[in-house]
Amino acid sequence: MKTPFLFKKLSWLFAILISSFCMLSCTRCSEPPKEPVSNSYKKKLISYKEGRVLYNEYSRTNNVVLTRSRNGEPDSRWYWFSVEDLEGYIKYVKETAKKQKLKKPGDQNLYGKISYESS
């Protein structure tokens, strides 16, 4: 029994469609190219020793005055953020800046004090 001509053509067409789908889906699985990271942060780095000098000077001067004026409540002098938190925040800043059409987004850290007197 011979296979009808129409089924021979359809099986080839079906095979080509499946092969094309597989190739396209594999191509889409690869990661997009990563954006180059600027080295501008390197100009703002300080050594551990320089940081220690700044921290000790702050402790010796400003912190003494602040602790006295807060009736012994210490000042928050350092904070820790995970790399994952920072990456997420940077992504948020970039997305927000893009929506607002900002050309040079950045980060400014402001530290304040919670007033316990008003509670």
Its domain, for residue 83, covers 48-100
H or E element: which one contains 108?
none
CA atoms within 13 A on the CB side of 13: 6
CA distance 75 to 60: 12
Identify whether 7 is part of a domain: no
Q: How do residues 13-63 score in pLDDT, each as one tens digit? A: 677 778 777 676 665 566 777 777 778 878 888 888 998 898 888 888 888
Identify whether 14 is part of a domain: no
Identify whether 9 is part of a domain: no
How many structural domains are present in the chain?
1
Identify whether 62 is part of a domain: yes
Identify whether 77 is part of a domain: yes
pLDDT band with cut points at 50, 70 and 90 for residue 79: confident
H or E element: which one contains 36?
none
* pTM, two decimal places: 0.48
